[in-house]
Structure 1
């Protein structure tokens, strides 16, 4: 079984520059997602004239349906080497090839004016379902491309930097585009969305052409573990999607990581969703300030990433996560103070302070995100010691699902709070109760989530030394080593990180196949 993407390469050496460049195109393509997150709710409430509750319901339904699609993308991607299509293009690249055109079509449908409500609901659902395939591949590749932790740290850094470049390009250029096309008509938002849709699609296609993934071998032939004889009926595979989703939670390191991840993703999602409203209705600044502040914050965020990459390698991801969290807490506290005392500060000073505090916030966020993404690349190594298979797609799918679910709940909660406090669609000012709750959602809620995430991070014992022991044991077993020859210290580490008895690891369990008796 071979194909043009199954050549051998050194998993412990340096990842080729072309492959790193190809991976950087995937987060760069988030220019489309940034446009959706930043402006979609504002666009629909202001120009389409939907009620805020209808918009939040639409976004919630779309994200939740998309969340249910992600386990299928992860399950499918892990097993594509069993198909001619996967052997030709690669199990990750094949997913990109499917999703690239679908993502563009459905993304642009979100910005068409004058369509019935059902059309927006349908297109929103299809957009999130297609985008889930892209995010599944993006999540999977850092752990897939190399077993060298230094290289993984660099790839995680590339993921952040490329995403920051995409966000900066969108935010900074949007200032000029709003000036050119105006900010008070829907066509400006449509043309801006079209521009970034084209850029994002080109980036994804370049990524498809150049990214590198793990070659076919026994560890990547995940389908062979779906049953005792390597074959499974369609019904069993359908059930297997959900079984694998749930059984992956049995890996202890992943459960603890999820606590960190959910806190990180949720507080960033809340901040992103409410950011425009906070700037316009609490600080009483204009839309250009949203783009300017976001752009400047991203520029500094890129510079911070290099420091966080080095610090993560020195301190391990958990301590980096906590340091970034402390900076976030300080930044949100400053934003709360600015929101409370904004009336006593001139507009110019207010805008300047907002940008300064946003830079501090991006310093903290870049650390939290770097640590979370780095720790995620270590989870498939623990999963391999449990299952003897490489299931990066499985965990990427779970992450995408939980991300969408919690983002959808966050969006629904924000919509409910705004509606409850008397939010007025299309207005330039809002009632005092709405303004107060926007400020609380933007500052107080994220602080609570950051503190919770810091507490959870102390439960994960994934130190560099422990991770190296796991990798060494995986390599020994891959090369035909006997499980009976494990040393006591390695056995203890494996059991601590996996949550399984050592004798139940290396496929002697039903984590992949529910009928396996071990």
Structure 2
């Protein structure tokens, strides 16, 4: 059995550092998304004079569209080996050829002043549409590029380091550019956005040539499981039904449902913090925009140092326990920030700036652990799917992951806009009513605490650890080599059923998870 497993892993040779760094370019390219997440709401309401409710609705609509289109990207990318271009350059690279240039185009349009609101609305929608294609690829690549859990951990860590470097670069460069160009003119934000757009496209081009993909084989011939054969095109109506079915059916996988609880809690509390971070600093703590960029840069650099520790800790104690350690630390920091907000008027600007930066250091320590644990846990999910379907569908799970995230992010954005509007938020003002200031402080500090507690709850439901993952891969290798399902050991049967939520006999393609018309065993 061990020789079978080694043979299985030989299909994907050890990753070179070139390939690992190639994967990191996706996170480096998110300087574009960080620019949007940090400054779009402020830029639109302050310089374009678009009402805050309309701006948040515009942003939310883009995320909703991305959530709808996400499953399409995942479905198509998994099946691109059925096309000539997919066989020639890879099923994931084929999607990049489409998504990278168009994502960059609509990103640029969003920062051009003087356009009709409809133009901003359309460009925002299409930006999120093509970003969904890139996000789908990024989420799926760690499982796509290797089956070795240690190398997956390295990919997850490198991904976080690259994201941190990108955020640090953006934040610290912003401080310099604000000093050079000023913080009160729209041109400053426009020129910064164009710089980061060029950087984002450049690193993605590097990634295109350096990432690794699974070769075409029986496991990556997902089209065959749809009911046809490679090259046999299904009618469009049947494709649409299949996309919807594939999206819904993955929810039957027990371990994936548990993971989603972990992931959504983490994503939502970080999204709330990111969306109103600028407002919290400017309107609650009464500090200037440079403090936002300086604090983000310093804290992110500290997060890079913390990552080395959490890469070791997560590998040692597992994703769920590492999540709890980081999560409880994050809760303590949010409580401290709420206290700082309540006593803000009694402190000098210098004291508040120092306190905010110091608390941010501790915040990044916890967030680094939470994110690392969540991403590491996710890399095991496509392997659970393979024992169910006998196919590699990294794109499917990545798209579902991104879709549900976008839905929750859209709801979160609308709720934030509604709360701000209901409490009297004034567009373009240098100060806000006391009710708005209190609402910002509560949303920024207390809502993430509740979400973090929810994520901690789901850590107790996850079953997949490094040892169980090794046993799962061994069983996949045995079946891939033609082993009989009747020869499964009791230990493996119990593990598979606990992870999948299905009887063992209904795994390995003996179900309708991919094809709704397929008869289960």
TM range (shorter): over 0.9
Q: Distance in 1 between matches of 2:351 and 2:300?
A: 21
**Structure-2 residue corresponding to 1:258:** 260
Note the 1:50-89 alignment, pairs <5 A: 50-89=50-89
Aligned counterparts of 2:59 and 2:104: Cα–Cα separation in 1: 18
SS at match of 1:412: helix
Q: In structure 2, what is the equivalent of residue 37 of structure 1?
A: 37
Render the CA deviation track for 1:29-86: whole Å, top value 9, x for unaligned: 0000000000000000000001111111111111101211110000000000110111
Of 8-17 and 321-330, the range deviating more from structure 2: 8-17
Among 399, 420, 433, the residue aligned to 1:397: 399
Matched residue, 1:90: 90
Deviation at 1:387, TM superposition (A): 0.3
Asked whether the 8 Å contact 1:11–1:146 carries over to 2, the reply is: no
Residues 9 and 147, structure 2, Cα contact 8 Å, conserved in 1:
no
1:414 aligns with 2:416: yes
Aligned-pair Cα RMSD in Å:
1.1
Name the SS of the counterpart of 2:379 in structure 1: helix
Alignment-derived partner of residue 319 in structure 2: 317
> Structure 1 residues 330, 13: CA separation in 2 closer, same or farther (over 3 Å shift)?
farther
Q: Does the 8 A contact of 1:13 with 1:148 survive in 2?
A: no
2:242 aligned to which of 217, 240, 243: 240
Residue 330 in structure 1 maps to residue 313 in structure 2: no
**What residue in structure 2 maps to residue 447 of structure 1?**
449
Secondary structure, counterpart of 1:465 in structure 2: helix
Superposition deviation, residue 182 in structure 1 = 1.1
Instruction: Provide the rounded CA distance (Å) in 2 between the counterparts of 1:56 and 1:346.
Output: 32
Contact 2:67–2:402, Cα closer than 8 Å, also in 1: yes
- Which runs of structure 2 are paired with 1:364-513 in the superposition (5 Å)? 364-513=366-515
Q: Give runs of ≥4 in structure 1 deviating > 2 Å.
A: 8-14, 228-234
Q: Contact 1:153–1:374 (CA<8 Å) still a contact in 2?
A: yes
Aligned to 1:99: 99
Query: Counterpart of 1:202?
Result: 202
2:322 and 2:12 map into 1 onto residues whose CA distance is 24
Q: Shift of residue 89 of structure 1?
A: 1.2
The aligned length equals 511
Q: CA deviation at 1:228?
A: 5.8
Instruction: Write the mapping of 1:207-286 to structure 2, written as runs, cut at 5 A.
Output: 207-227=207-227, 231=232, 232-286=234-288
Cα distance in 2 between the residues matched to 1:11 and 1:290: 47
In 1, Cα distance between equivalents of 2:496 and 2:293 = 47
Query: What CA deviation, in whole Å up to 9, does each residue of 1:211-253 have, x standing for no partner?
Result: 1111111101111100165643222112111110000111100
Separation of aligned partners in 2, 1:483 and 1:74: 29
Contact 2:223 2:229 in 1 (8 A): no
Q: Report if the CA contact (8 A) 2:12-2:145 is conserved.
A: no
Q: TM-score, normalised by structure 1?
A: 0.97
Work out whether residues 11 and 147 of structure 1, in 8 Å CA contact, stay in contact via their aligned partners in 2: no
Compute the displacement of 1:12 (Å): 6.3
CA distances 1:112-162 after superposition (whole Å, capped 9, x unpaired)? 100111111111100000111110110010111001000000000011000
**Structure 1 residue 14, shift from structure 2 partner:** 2.8
- Which residue is equivalent to 1:115? 115
Taking the aligned partners of 1:180 and 1:229, their CA distance within structure 2 comes to 60
Q: Which residue of 1 aligns with 2:143?
A: 143
Tell me the alpha carbon deviations over residues 433-453 of structure 1, each in whole angstroms, 9 at most, x when there is no partner. 100010000000000000011
TM-score by length of 2: 0.97
